[in-house]
Structure 1
Amino acid sequence: MKKKLDHKNRWRNKLVSFRMSPEEAEQLNHFARLSGLTKQEYLINRALQKHVIVNGNPRVYKALRNLFKENLEELKRLEKISEENSELLELIHYMSTIIEGLKEGLS
């Protein structure tokens, strides 16, 4: 495998790992997919407290569309918001933030 430099011409040769629950891992996958970044780039930006800037592209649009479709039935089913639904609420908030940003970018 050929070694790659990052965007600042640095070797990324340090491995960082940690454990997550299946629910946390699923939420992380959703957030990374919605950002349009790789999971690695998303985690590096978040860990280093950098802003994650979502650039609207077909991949982000498709991820948003698919997640809304997946969660639509769940949203219809919910009668009230409870602690059990906190991950879904966080995901919906993240999705709506991205959509607002995309709308501003089109204006």
Structure 2
Amino acid sequence: LSGLPKQEYCYRKCMEREVVVQPSPRVYKALKTQMEFILNELQRIDVGESIEPELLDTIDLIATTMNGLKGDGNNGK
């Protein structure tokens, strides 16, 4: 979702550098695909069932990314 090539993303994560998401059609498409996946998963979950931790992590990542794309400089806080 970062919009970076995989090698650059891995390099930055290994070096513990910040990964900054640059808005682009590629990022938009990745976010849209992930949101469709989340919607399908949430529709599949019955009332009273627990949500998988991986799905919650994905939702958190997308929310953080979307807040960062707003361009307000404070990540939505």
Q: Which TM-score applies when normalising by structure 2?
A: 0.78
Q: Which runs of 5+ in 1 are unaligned?
A: 1-33
Q: Which runs of 5+ in 2 are unaligned?
A: none
The equivalent residue for 1:52 is 19
Following superposition of structure 1 onto structure 2, how do residues 1-107 of structure 1 map, counting pairs within 5 Å? Answer: 34-78=1-45, 79-81=49-51, 85-103=52-70, 105=71
How many angstroms apart in 1 are the aligned matches of 2:42 and 2:10? 28
Higher relative contact order (CA 8 A, sep 6+): 2
Q: Which TM-score applies when normalising by structure 1?
A: 0.59
Query: Which letter maps to 1:35?
Result: S
Pairs aligned (count)? 70
How many angstroms apart in 2 are the aligned matches of 1:40 and 1:88? 25
The equivalent residue for 1:31 is none
How many angstroms apart in 1 are the aligned matches of 2:72 and 2:26? 17
Query: Which letter maps to 2:50?
Result: K
Q: CA deviation at 1:50?
A: 0.3
Query: Taking every aligned residue pair, what percent have the same amino acid on both sides?
Result: 46
